[in-house]
């Protein structure tokens, strides 16, 4: 995900000038701060937020310990990173889930991603052992209930609906149902409007009053930039929300909303939506987002993704295979599937520190991976397990079967041998594969 790539690039440029020098003068730091401020404003960061941010960073960066240090540039970057993190941090970033059932009410404008997020959150909570019930309280659009049922099915969560009955009544009945049936989280999907209006707020206030949710989560579209901040402010004023979920962070968003919402409303961003699929949800970790903005990569998210995609047992088995040098094309296929689960090789590379700038412009060819897959699928099981038996006539058959050329088959076989060589060396590395993929 090219999260805030523009802002990232700008900041990287400013900081690379700083780190190239040894000592920094006050003037140089001030000039850099001026540039950072412009970069933030261009990324749609609220101007008061940008101003306070620069004041805080400057006060620290102009301190004696920075000015006297041998690597002042790096110290300034560290200060910026810490301040960015602080800007988005809150003590109540986690969901309040200790009630039985805990009630989460979603709200927001039309199209923000509420219904989608109900499903994502349901699936996410289910993974952590919860039993969520989704409740359809958007009664105005005929397709809304059906849409919730579709995502509910994907999330493997029950959906409670009472058609176009008054949404307050439906919500209350859903909570009764949850108590009887042992659901421990109730996620209420509400109706949005194109713009904030009294009718919408009254309806939401009513639901709030009658069901007393522990969480009122405002779903906002990150692509709306400064508007996202204004919208958050006004929902917060009327509903005293407990947090924000920023959706569409996978899009070409400039970052302003993520950086401003907490500072302006005092309410934390708790989750982000990073795609249209049910699994495209991430808890919002301010330090990781700050690292990503600064192009330092997001190693923690990467490790978590790897852990999700590869079970510990699987990782152990892999490690053994490498040790015994019995890694086959069958395993290769499994690994390609794992990579896909992790969101594609290019997304992964972007999260590795330094990779973003070094690999700029380089795109790993996902098509090549698809070609490799086709070739392997055209092999017999015996061939996959013992690639050394793949001689000329077999190569031709495989090429024909997969719609590729003999050269392409040769190339893959050679690559495979080379990777095995590399893996042999890797196995001498103490951490081994489990260090990379295990818990």
Question: Binding residues for Mg ion, per CB under 5 A?
Answer: 114-115
By beta-carbon proximity to ligand GDP, the closer residue of 47 and 140 is 140
Candidates 177-185, 205-213, 272-280, 412-420: pick the segment binding ligand GDP (CB under 6 A). 272-280
Candidates 63-71, 103-111, 254-262, 392-400: pick the segment binding ligand GDP (CB under 6 A). 103-111
Q: Any idea of the CA torsion for 122, 128, 130, 135, to the nearest 10 degrees?
A: -10
63: CB partners within 8 A, 6+ apart: none
Write down the least CB distance from residue 256 to ligand GDP, Å: 17
Write down the least CB distance from residue 286 to Mg ion, Å: 28
Q: Hey, which residues does 170 pair with through a beta bridge?
A: none
Pattern 317-356, ligand GDP, x by CB under 6 A: ----------------------------------------
Binds ligand GDP by CB under 6 A, chosen from 72, 73, 108, 122: 108
**Binding status of residue 400 toward ligand GDP by CB under 6 A:** no
Ramachandran region of residue 217, left (φ > 0), alpha (ψ -120 to 50) or beta?
A: beta
Q: Which of residues 233-252 bind ligand GDP (CB under 6 A)?
A: 247-248, 250-251
Candidates 89-97, 104-112, 364-372, 418-426: pick the segment binding ligand GDP (CB under 6 A). 104-112
CA distance 36 to 80: 10
The answer to whether 95 and 128 are in contact (CB under 8 A) is no
Query: In 188-284, where does DSSP find H-type helix?
Result: 198-211, 226-239, 256-265
Give the angle subtended at the CA of 235 by the CAs of 230 and 241, to the nearest 5°. Answer: 120
The answer to whether 289 and 259 are in contact (CB under 8 A) is no
- How buried is residue 264: exposed, middle or buried, by Cβ count under 10 Å (0-12/13-18/19+)? middle
* Tokens 């009718």 -> residue: 199
45: CB partners within 8 A, 6+ apart: 53, 255, 256, 259, 260
Binds ligand GDP by CB under 6 A, chosen from 132, 273, 295, 343: 273
* Tokens 């409007």 -> residue: 193
Give the angle subtended at the CA of 47 by the CAs of 46 and 52, to the nearest 5°. Answer: 105
Cis peptide before 261 (omega within 30 of 0): no
Binds ligand GDP by CB under 6 A, chosen from 274, 293, 318, 339: 274
**Binding status of residue 112 toward ligand GDP by CB under 6 A:** yes
By beta-carbon proximity to ligand GDP, the closer residue of 110 and 154 is 110
Ramachandran region of residue 263, left (φ > 0), alpha (ψ -120 to 50) or beta?
A: alpha
By beta-carbon proximity to Mg ion, the closer residue of 246 and 412 is 246
Write down the least CB distance from residue 258 to ligand GDP, Å: 13
CA distance 436 to 407: 33
Write down the least CB distance from residue 187 to ligand GDP, Å: 12
**Binding status of residue 110 toward ligand GDP by CB under 6 A:** yes
Write down the least CB distance from residue 158 to Mg ion, Å: 18
By beta-carbon proximity to ligand GDP, the closer residue of 251 and 353 is 251
Tokens of 107: 């709200």
Q: Which of residues 42-101 bind ligand GDP (CB under 6 A)?
A: none
CA distance 163 to 166: 9
By beta-carbon proximity to Mg ion, the closer residue of 168 and 303 is 168
Candidates 167-175, 275-283, 333-341, 389-397: pick the segment binding ligand GDP (CB under 6 A). 275-283
By beta-carbon proximity to ligand GDP, the closer residue of 158 and 280 is 280
Binds ligand GDP by CB under 6 A, chosen from 26, 276, 365, 421: 276
Q: Are strands 185-190 and 158-160 parallel, antiparallel or unpaired?
A: unpaired
Q: Which of residues 173-202 bind ligand GDP (CB under 6 A)?
A: 192
User: Interface with ligand GDP by CB under 6 A: which residues?
Assistant: 108, 110-116, 192, 219, 247-248, 250-251, 273-276, 280
């Amino acid at each position: 995900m090219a999260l805030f790539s523009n802002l990232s690039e700008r900041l990287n440029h400013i900081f690379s000038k700083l780190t190239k020098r040894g000592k920094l003068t006050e003037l140089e730091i001030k000039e850099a701060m001026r540039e950072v401020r412009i970069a933030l404003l261009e990324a749609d960061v609220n101007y008061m937020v940008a101003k306070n941010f620069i004041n805080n960073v400057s006060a620290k960066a102009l301190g004696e310990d920075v000015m006297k240090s041998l690597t002042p540039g790096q110290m300034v970057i560290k200060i910026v990173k810490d301040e960015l993190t602080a800007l988005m941090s809150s003590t109540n970033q986690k969901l309040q889930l200790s009630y039985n059932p805990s009630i989460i009410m979603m709200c927001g404008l039309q199209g923000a991603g509420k219904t989608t997020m109900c499903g994502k959150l349901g699936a996410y909570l289910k993974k952590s052992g919860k039993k969520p019930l989704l409740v359809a309280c958007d009664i105005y659009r005929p397709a809304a209930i059906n849409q919730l049922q579709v995502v509910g099915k994907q999330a493997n969560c029950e959906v409670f609906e009472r058609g176009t009955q008054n949404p307050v009544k439906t919500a209350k009945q859903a909570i009764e149902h949850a108590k009887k049936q042992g659901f421990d989280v109730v996620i209420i999907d509400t109706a949005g409007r194109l713009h904030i209006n009294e009718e919408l707020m009254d309806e939401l206030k009513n639901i709030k009053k009658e069901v007393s949710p522990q969480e009122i989560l405002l779903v906002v579209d990150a692509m709306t930039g400064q508007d996202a901040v204004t919208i958050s402010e006004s929902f917060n004023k009327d509903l005293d929300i407990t947090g924000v979920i920023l959706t569409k962070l996978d899009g070409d968003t400039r970052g302003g909303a993520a950086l401003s919402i907490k500072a302006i409303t005092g309410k934390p961003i708790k989750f982000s939506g990073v795609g249209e699929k049910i699994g495209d949800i991430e808890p919002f970790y301010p330090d990781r987002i700050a690292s990503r903005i600064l192009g330092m990569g997001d190693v923690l998210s990467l490790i978590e993704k790897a852990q999700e995609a590869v079970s510990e047992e699987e990782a152990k088995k892999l490690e053994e295979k490498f040790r015994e040098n019995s890694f086959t094309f069958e395993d290769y296929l499994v690994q390609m599937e794992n990579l896909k689960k992790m969101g594609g090789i290019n997304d992964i590379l972007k999260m590795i520190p330094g990779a973003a700038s070094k690999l700029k412009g380089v795109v790993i060819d996902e098509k090549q991976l698809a070609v490799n897959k086709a070739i392997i699928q055209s092999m017999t099981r015996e061939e996959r397990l013992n690639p050394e038996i793949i001689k000329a006539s077999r190569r031709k058959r495989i090429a024909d079967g997969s719609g590729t050329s003999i050269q392409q088959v040769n190339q893959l076989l050679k690559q495979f041998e080379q990777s095995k060589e590399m893996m042999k060396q890797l196995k001498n590395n103490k951490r081994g594969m489990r260090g990379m993929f295990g818990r």
